[in-house]
Structure 1
Amino acid sequence: MRANPYLFLGANGRKAILGIYIDRDSDLSITSQLCRQLRDRIQTGLLAEGTRLPPTRKAAQEYGIARNIVIDVYEQLTAEGYLIGKRGSGTYVASGITAMSSGNFTWMESLHEHNSILSDDIIDFTTGTPALEFFPSRIWGNYLKSAALNSPLSCLDYGDIQGHRELRLEITSYLLRTRGMHCHPDQIMIVSGSSEGFTLIAKAMYPQYHGIYLEEPTIEITQNIFKQMNYQITPIEVDHHGMKLHEMNHYKSHHLLLLTPAHQFPSGSILSIQRRLLALKLIEMNDTYLIEDDYDGDFRLKGVPIPPIHTLCPERVIYAGTFSKTLAPGLRIGFLVIPSELISTFTDIKESINIRTSAFQQIALAHFMRDGHMDRHIFKMKRLYKQRRVVLLDALIQYFGDEIKIHGDEAGMHLAVEFLDKSRTIDWEKSIEYGVKFGLVEEYSLEKQKHTHDIVLGYGNVREDHIKMGIERLHRFYEDQS
């Protein structure tokens, strides 16, 4: 019988392929375990460029798992840039991934493990709003009531400027469990949504840093905040692998770098591992910081959430998270994970302008997370958004066929659509007359007239029975523009 070239003993003498084994007693899913261990071996150089991975069928047999799990793992890491598939040959470790010290990539197992119609006549595909009709209002109301009735009197005072400690503890545990991030509760700062978070970052980092690199195009909120703080804005174009960092001639001094690596807005692209490593190299060489906006990282609709850049270099990354997409924007709760050496700067700034978040909201959210409702809600919403995305894709293909190109990874609550006939002059504002509303990529662009034929469709808060109707209206509008 021929020996398996990929098989050797792993930890505790158990059989392992490429030194990777499955812990069936772990709270982590098998998919998460395989993804994390493969990333670790590639990042640390144990699996070198060009290494051929075992065929999916062989790996599934050796592990005693479904082949679809192995396929999902390979597809996940291919999407992230770690692997590359060669038709008829197999799956290989991709090039351009510089081996780094294993200390930077230590993965711990988990410690625990309204619809969009604005009126009866308008179907609204604008982005940013989750499925509000599925918000667990009754459960949330019970936690709010309990927080108001049972919290100590101290919660009626101004409280800790960094936020309620119980919530910061829950966020710390949550980030470790879902993102593989290692941070201390003292590094967490609670903010009233992403806008306040980015405002604090802009204030705290200025004037030592007076410029910032932004993705082009990107969400207008961050553009406006840093413009108003007199930062020099330098846009860098994105493609289907994120910001084109490799095309920068040189890195400007005293510039921060802001990225949405897990799901770029509005393109929907994932920043590849090669560009993530290049980003870290640039900020380290130029003694600056990377701001990581993880606005919808909970909703990776295929595979598992992509590890944040923060896991690669926590001392150089300011991580911004929010519950606006996960739960509801009306809660106005977000958070920052701040490098230790910047904590006092951020707390001083926040104290000086006396910005605080409701203590009862924070306590309610902490208990909501502690009791597992957050995890259950995310699981439910991922299934919903995946289904809505499929309905939207089917409708776009049915009505537009090869007239369009669809962009965006299977994540989040939006996708981008490029209309291929560039000869048409389209007055997109007239679409409202056809009963449909959506976003324009041009609105998010710093450099205008480059994306006049690109739109953004958000499907998070659009009922499935309205999605097809909305795309039919979009099609009628588009045809009438010719």
Structure 2
Amino acid sequence: MFGFQPTANAGSITKQLCSFLRDKIEKGALSPGLKLPPTRKAADELGIARNIVIEVYEQLAAEGYLTSKAGSGTYVSEGIEIRSRMKQPPTSYPIQPLSVIPARRMKVISFDTGTPDLSRFPRRVWNKCVREIIDSEPAEVFAYGDVQGTPALREAIARYLFRMKGITCDPGQIVITSGTSESFLLLAAAFSDRYRNVYVEEPTVEFVRDIFQKMKYSIVPVEVDDQGMDISRIERSAPSGLIVLTPSHQYPTGSILSIQRRQQAVALANKDGHYIIEDDYNSEFRHKGEPVPPLQLLAPSRVIYAGSFSKTLSPALRIGFLIVPPGLIELIVRTKTELNLTASSITQSALARFMMEGCFDRHIHKMRAVYKRKRLFLADQVRLLFGEHVEVAGDEAGMHVQLVFRQDRYGSIDWHGIEAFGAHFYTFDDYAVFKGRYPGKVVLGYGHLSEEEIAEGLQRIRKFTEVWKKGHPSSEEYQSFRSIPGATY
């Protein structure tokens, strides 16, 4: 098809065909309005599975390169500017020799898991929304605003949740916060006279434990496996409390809470008087299959749903929200009033307009394709660099992956010193109460990184593991690397 020839060791066929068609379209070789071959015919011509062609067409349609017309076919989209000069993005990254990286080139590549791709923030559209709010809204938009949140934003969120996740709630059940951390702080304060125990996933993000510890709760870690939190480990005689879950995409494991355990959690909450706090972490970005239904649908009266726009748009917005059961809304709003917690009225109003005009839906759709492409690229590079000795684990969602380094190959790697090799990431132990139970398990975030940075960062990690295998961090090569000026951080 159009002269496409796959190249060995250049990534998956899907990635190569996507790159090939993008390149042809951007150069004008495939003109706007050109009809592409049907998927079955294209697959026959290329000698590949039809599903691959379907996935490529869908990917490029999501990116705007192609347009599908029901009953007619797939066409090259209009309005794409033709490139005049050759673009040569690297499609594969050869394994670098195990030599020391000169200090002048050393810049730490951080596989931070909390930052989205900020380069793709829709600045022009967002600026338009903010400008319209400032120009047209009454003077009250510059005041502190409703402590529960701007009514327009609560209405927009309620509509979005019903449309995209099937959650039915009244805007009066929604409380706007400045992010997930404030949401948890608010809940910890609101329930402090009622509960003293909080059951948290083990491992999990440290701020969850930190917030409840500051509020003098007893923290009860509950082990997580590939089906999410093991609800059976919560003693039936245990005191009532709060159960904090990330059922759609647990961090850091990436696991999904199974339906069996969801039902167990709801039954436990109903029977023993617990409330479940559902942190809907990164649920918008599922890269395979359909989004996982929220736990809140099973028990609207026992589940407090926490969402945020930090990963979907930008952490700088400082906007999160809670869906609170009707019987608790008075308690939560009263506590928020007493703590004087408010979010920017201007930002809330701009976000409401951004959502009501469909901009948020379009942004999510675009970023889902971006993060899926990055995850596939990262997984391909891991296979290229480490082969079968490293597993990419967790559900195909979000902006992070779990890597498992096989102990029969690497032993119990001590990752201290990895930054001397120009990379930074966190291990499972960094998120665990009980240390030493997760040998070889690390978390890599890729949302904010380019493909070049992902590839280079993985090569640096491989360099570290090769030095480790030779003689651990006491080896002469490791010590010589650390002695390079500017190579330690």
* TM-score between both structures, scaled by the size of structure 2: 0.73
Distance 1:409 1:425, change over 3 A: closer
What is the match of residue 483 of structure 2? none
1:196 counterpart letter in structure 2 = E
Separation in 2 of the partners of 1:448 and 1:206?
29
Q: Could you tell me how far 1:251 is from its partner in structure 2?
A: 4.8
Structure 1: distance between partners of 2:379 and 2:345: 42
The residue aligned with 2:148 is 162
1:178 is paired with a residue whose SS is helix
CA shift for structure 1 position 158: 2.2
Counterpart of 1:411 in structure 2 is 397
| Structure 1 unaligned residues grouped into runs of 5+ | 1-66, 73-118
1:431 aligns with 2:404: no
1:41-440 alignment to 2 at 5 Å? 121-421=107-407, 424-440=411-427
1: CA distance between counterparts of 2:237 and 2:161?
A: 31
Structure 1 contact 261–308 (Cα < 8 Å) conserved? yes
Change (3 A) 1:247 1:253: closer
Deviations 1:51-95 (A, max 9, x none): xxxxxxxxxxxxxxxx97xx99xxxxxxxxxxxxxxxxxxxxxxx
Give 1:449 shift. Answer: 1.5
Does residue 464 (structure 1) correspond to residue 451 (structure 2)? The answer is yes
Aligned partners of 1:383 and 1:251: how far apart in 2? 46
How far, CA to CA, are the matches of 1:452 and 1:207 in structure 2?
Answer: 39
1:146 shift after superposition: 1.5
CA distance in 1, matches of 2:106, 2:146: 45
8 Å Cα contact 2:241-2:273 kept in structure 1 = no
Give the match's secondary structure for 1:415: strand
CA-to-aligned-CA distance 1:93-129 (integer Å, 9 cap, x gap): xxxxxxxxxxxxxxxxxxxxxxxxxx97121111011
Q: Match for 1:349: what amino acid?
A: T
- Quote how far apart the aligned CAs of 1:425 are: 4.5
C-alpha separation in 1, matches of 2:152 and 2:234: 43
Alpha carbons 2:243, 2:277 under 8 Å: kept: yes
Counterpart in the other structure of 2:38: none
Structure 2 counterpart of 1:462, which letter?
L
After superposition, the C-alpha distances for 1:258-306 in whole angstroms (9 at most, x for unaligned) are: 1000000000000111110010000101012100000211111112211
CA contact (8 A) 1:441 1:451 kept: yes
Give the percent of matched residue pairs that are identical in Structure 1 and Structure 2: 44
CA distance in 1, matches of 2:153, 2:241: 32
Instruction: Output the CA distance in 1 between the equivalents of 2:237 and 2:162.
Output: 32
User: Could you tell me how far apart the structure 2 residues matched to 1:469 and 1:124 are?
Assistant: 11
SS in 1 for 2:148: coil
Q: Give 1:429 shift.
A: 2.8
Residue 92 of structure 2 is matched in structure 1 by none
Write out per-residue CA displacement over residues 148-207 of structure 1, whole angstroms, 9 at most, x where no aligned residue: 221111222222110000000000000001110000000000000110000001001112
> 2: CA distance between counterparts of 1:324 and 1:420?
34
1:352-398 CA deviation, whole Å, 9 max, x = no partner? Answer: 11111110000000000011110110011010111100110011111
Corresponding letter in the other structure for 2:418: S
2:354 counterpart letter in structure 1: F
Structure 2 counterpart of 1:460, one-letter code:
G
User: 1:208 touches 1:254 (CA, 8 Å); kept in 2?
Assistant: no
SS in 2 for 1:324: coil
1:325-378 C-alpha deviation (Å, 9 max, x unpaired): 000111100000001011111111111111111100000000000111101100
Gaps of 5+ in 2: 1-49, 56-104, 470-489
Residue deviations 1:19-56, cap 9 Å, x none? xxxxxxxxxxxxxxxxxxxxxxxxxxxxxxxxxxxxxx
Cα shift readout 1:207-237 (whole Å, capped 9, x = no counterpart): 2111011110001111110111111111111
How far 1:452 sits from its partner (Å)?
3.8
Say if 1:120 and 1:251 are closer, same or farther in 2 by CA, change over 3 A: farther
1:480 paired residue number? 467
Shift of 1:454: 1.1
- 8 Å contact 1:425–1:481 — kept in the other structure? no
How many aligned residue pairs are there?
369
Distance 1:429 1:178, change over 3 A: same
Which amino acid in 2 is paired with 1:293? Answer: D
Structure 1 vs Structure 2 CA RMSD: 1.9
How far, CA to CA, are the matches of 1:248 and 1:206 in structure 2? 20
The code of the aligned residue for 2:442 comes to: I
**TM-score with structure 1 length normalisation?**
0.74
Residue type at the aligned position of 1:189: V
What amino acid maps onto 1:443 in structure 2? D
What one-letter code is carried by the residue in structure 1 that aligns with 2:353? H
Tell me the amino acid that sits aligned with residue 226 of structure 1.
F
Structure 1 residues 247-256 or 295-304, which shifts more? Answer: 247-256
C-alpha separation in 2, matches of 1:306 and 1:254: 27
Residue aligning to 1:443: 430
Q: CA deviation at 1:453?
A: 2.0
Q: 2: distance between equivalents of 1:237 and 1:254?
A: 18
- 1:405-428 residue CA offsets vs partner (Å, 9 max, x unmatched): 221101100011111216735331
CA distance in 1, matches of 2:267, 2:387: 42
Greater C-alpha radius of gyration = 2
Relative to structure 1, is the Cα distance of residues 180 and 251 closer, same or farther in structure 2, using a 3 angstrom cutoff? farther
